[in-house]
């Protein structure tokens, strides 16, 4: 080791004082800025200690630091590569939007638009009109209103229709969704009394019936989207609950969760009920998410009988939960895809991933493996995996997929951190202390980034 070289290495403060470097500070989070400078110096120190560079100019450290800063993402919210195989990954932004949807978001965002302007009547219009007819056509509902997300859809529905009354719900459906959406708490906000019936694993129709009193305003069914009760179980079919509600003249409500509009069994082994199925029971109100199985932007869609949707539209709270113009732009295009089922499978990314033939995934896995085969220090096993639907949509359901298991001397925890710290962060599938790149959720543009990462890793190992 050349001690003179170590002494020559500039300090963090010296780099910070350089104007060519300090101008990057405003472009990125401060912690990222500092850590990039530190990492640059550390890399040089490492090379010096291992005698891998014998001579260098101080100026080289400056230019290398500037290059690294240029490479850093400018924003906190940034693209990551989902190599986890979870298709609707809530932590990674749930559904990807279709190209058509994004193009329309651009048009609406870059221009003035008729968000609340009625061009025919040449005056004030309503933002809630843009997708209402389309949703009704697709689902068979009488009326519809779209809000910020499904949690607000449930809250607004309850507050507008059953306040000061009792709502009957099965104990098996008292769910909490990640980010603390808890059914009992929502009921509390809505000032409704929750009447729990049945047991965790079994609820019968007469449990509902016995709980109905003169104060009962609604029967509600909640899709248990993030867990499954298995074994000795019994839940009441929506149809039976709806019929019972009618018989007793109370409202029937379903929180359907993910909002599936096509028969997935045509393409997969999955058998998720559709919103059309729900509507055909004659249920009064159904709510679902816009960014789960539907494959659109974050939104909550409320559909059902016009007289109840009108109550919801008249509620002042709607203003606080209102949907944005960018969401409406993306949602309208996404819903338009549903007018032609082939477009759903072709254009909506999460639907394409769910329905595509696993052999195509295997092909991609093989081709990525070939691309990476020239590396000496990292090897890859092509393995079968199960890609999960995720997103609070279908908790235990998977589709067949393929992945590359990484074989390396680097410990998997370290490797995972390195993947996360890559210029474009990569989130792998981790199972049994193994790192797997699942090909199901990787998009076309991601391949070269993954190849880049592992090629870079080769150098890290050598150094």
Ligand X SMILES: *Cc1c(COP(=O)(O)O)cnc(C)c1O
Rounded to the nearest whole angstrom, what is the least distance from the CB of residue 66 to ligand X in the complex? 42
Among 81-89, 150-158, 206-214, 277-285, the segment contacting ligand X (CB under 6 A):
150-158
Residue nearest to ligand X (CB): 257
Among 201-209, 253-261, 333-341, 353-361, the segment contacting ligand X (CB under 6 A):
253-261
Binding-site member from 223, 313, 337, 440 for ligand X (CB under 6 A) = 223
* Closer of 175 and 426 to ligand X (Cβ): 175
From residue 331, alpha-carbon distances to 108, 294, 325 in Å are 12, 9, 10
Rounded to the nearest whole angstrom, what is the least distance from the CB of residue 398 to ligand X in the complex? 18
Give the footprint of ligand X on residues 377-416 (CB under 6 A): 392
- For residue 101, give both structure tokens: 């949807």
Binding-site member from 5, 82, 95, 150 for ligand X (CB under 6 A) = 150
C-alpha to C-alpha distance for 397 and 53, rounded to whole angstroms: 53
Rounded to the nearest whole angstrom, what is the least distance from the CB of residue 450 to ligand X in the complex? 29
* Closer of 160 and 225 to ligand X (Cβ): 225
Rounded to the nearest whole angstrom, what is the least distance from the CB of residue 132 to ligand X in the complex? 19
Rounded to the nearest whole angstrom, what is the least distance from the CB of residue 367 to ligand X in the complex? 35
Core vs surface per residue 174-189: b (16+ CB within 10 A) or e:
bbebeeebebeebbee
C-alpha to C-alpha distance for 96 and 89, rounded to whole angstroms: 10
The 394-407 sheet, strands edge to edge: 81-83, 426-431, 434-438, 394-407, 379-390
Give the footprint of ligand X on residues 160-179 (CB under 6 A): 177
Q: How many residues bind ligand X (CB under 6 A)?
A: 15
* Closer of 223 and 347 to ligand X (Cβ): 223
Binding-site member from 56, 117, 181, 447 for ligand X (CB under 6 A) = 181
* Closer of 171 and 364 to ligand X (Cβ): 171
Contact letters (x/-) for ligand X, 273-302, by CB under 6 A? ----------------x----------x--
- Other CB atoms within a 10 A radius of the CB of residue 76 amount to 8
* Closer of 173 and 446 to ligand X (Cβ): 173
Q: Which residue in the block uniquely carries the two structure tokens 């391949």?
A: 447
C-alpha to C-alpha distance for 35 and 314, rounded to whole angstroms: 52
Rounded to the nearest whole angstrom, what is the least distance from the CB of residue 146 to ligand X in the complex? 11
Rounded to the nearest whole angstrom, what is the least distance from the CB of residue 300 to ligand X in the complex? 5
* Closer of 91 and 113 to ligand X (Cβ): 91
What element of type H or E holds 288? strand 285-289
* Closer of 196 and 255 to ligand X (Cβ): 255
Q: Is 225 in the site for ligand X (CB under 6 A)?
A: yes
Helices (H), 315-391: 325-337, 341-347, 349-355, 358-371
* Closer of 242 and 323 to ligand X (Cβ): 323
* Closer of 149 and 441 to ligand X (Cβ): 149
Rounded to the nearest whole angstrom, what is the least distance from the CB of residue 173 to ligand X in the complex? 9
Q: Is 157 in the site for ligand X (CB under 6 A)?
A: no
The sign of the CA dihedral 440, 442, 443, 447 is: negative
C-alpha to C-alpha distance for 94 and 179, rounded to whole angstroms: 14
Give the footprint of ligand X on residues 31-90 (CB under 6 A): none
Q: Is 95 in the site for ligand X (CB under 6 A)?
A: no
Binding-site member from 149, 260, 327, 385 for ligand X (CB under 6 A) = 149
Q: Is 222 in the site for ligand X (CB under 6 A)?
A: yes
* Closer of 151 and 355 to ligand X (Cβ): 151
Binding-site member from 85, 165, 257, 403 for ligand X (CB under 6 A) = 257
- Other CB atoms within a 10 A radius of the CB of residue 42 amount to 12
DSSP 129: G
Report the number of secondary-structure helices (H) and strands (E) in the chain: 19, 16
List all residues 6 or more positions away from 388 whose beta carbon is below 8 Å from its beta carbon.
85, 86, 87, 394, 397, 398
Q: Is 259 in the site for ligand X (CB under 6 A)?
A: no
Among 15-23, 105-113, 148-156, 270-278, the segment contacting ligand X (CB under 6 A):
148-156
φ, ψ for residue 210, nearest 5 deg: -65, -25
417-420 LR contacts (CB < 8 Å, sep 24+): 418/453, 418/457, 418/460, 419/83, 419/453
CA dihedral 9, 10, 15, 21 (to 10 degrees): -30
φ, ψ for residue 416, nearest 5 deg: -60, -45
Q: List contacts with ligand X (CB under 6 A).
A: 149-151, 154, 177, 181, 222-223, 225, 255, 257-258, 289, 300, 392
């Amino acid at each position: 080791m050349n001690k003179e070289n170590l002494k020559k290495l500039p300090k963090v403060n010296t780099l910070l004082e350089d104007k060519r470097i300090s101008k990057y500070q405003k472009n990125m989070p401060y912690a990222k800025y500092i850590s990039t400078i530190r990492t640059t110096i550390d890399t040089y120190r490492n090379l010096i200690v291992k005698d891998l560079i014998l001579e260098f100019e101080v100026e080289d450290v400056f230019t290398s630091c500037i290059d690294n800063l240029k490479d850093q993402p400018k924003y906190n919210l940034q693209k990551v590569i989902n190599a986890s195989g979870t298709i609707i990954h809530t932590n990674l932004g749930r559904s990807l939007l279709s190209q058509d949807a994004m193009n329309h978001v651009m048009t609406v965002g870059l221009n003035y638009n008729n968000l609340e302007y009625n061009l025919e009547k040449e005056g004030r219009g309503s933002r809630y009109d843009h997708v209402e007819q389309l949703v009704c056509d697709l689902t068979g509902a009488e009326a519809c209103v779209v809000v910020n997300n499904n949690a607000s859809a449930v809250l607004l529905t309850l507050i507008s229709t059953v306040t000061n009354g009792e709502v009957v719900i099965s104990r098996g459906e008292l769910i909490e969704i990640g980010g603390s959406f808890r059914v009992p708490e929502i009921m509390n906000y809505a000032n409704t009394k929750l009447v729990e019936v049945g047991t965790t694993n079994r609820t019968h129709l007469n449990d509902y019936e016995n709980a109905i009193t003169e104060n009962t305003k609604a029967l509600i069914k909640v899709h248990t989207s993030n867990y499954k009760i298995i074994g000795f179980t019994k839940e009441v079919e929506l149809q039976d609950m709806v019929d019972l509600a009618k018989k007793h003249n109370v409202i029937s409500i379903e929180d359907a969760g993910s909002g599936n509009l096509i028969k997935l069994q045509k393409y997969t082994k999955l058998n998720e009920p559709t919103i059309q199925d729900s509507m055909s029971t004659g249920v009064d109100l159904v709510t679902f998410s816009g960014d789960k199985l539907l494959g659109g932007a974050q939104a909550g869609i409320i559909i059902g009988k016009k007289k109840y949707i009108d109550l919801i539209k008249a509620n002042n709270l709607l203003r606080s939960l209102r949907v944005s113009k960018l969401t409406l732009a993306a949602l309208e295009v996404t819903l338009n895809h549903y007018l032609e089922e082939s477009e759903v499978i072709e254009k909506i990314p999460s639907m394409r991933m769910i329905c595509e033939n696993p052999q195509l995934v295997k092909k991609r896995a093989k081709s990525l493996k070939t691309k990476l085969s020239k590396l000496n220090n990292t090897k890859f096993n092509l393995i079968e995996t199960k890609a999960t639907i995720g997103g609070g949509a279908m908790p235990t359901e998977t589709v067949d997929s393929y992945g590359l298991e990484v074989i390396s001397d680097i410990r998997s925890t370290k490797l995972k951190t390195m993947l996360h710290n890559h210029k474009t962060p990569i989130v792998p599938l981790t199972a049994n202390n193994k790192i797997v790149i699942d090909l199901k959720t990787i998009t076309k543009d991601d391949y070269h980034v993954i190849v880049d990462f592992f090629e870079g890793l080769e150098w890290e190992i050598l150094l």
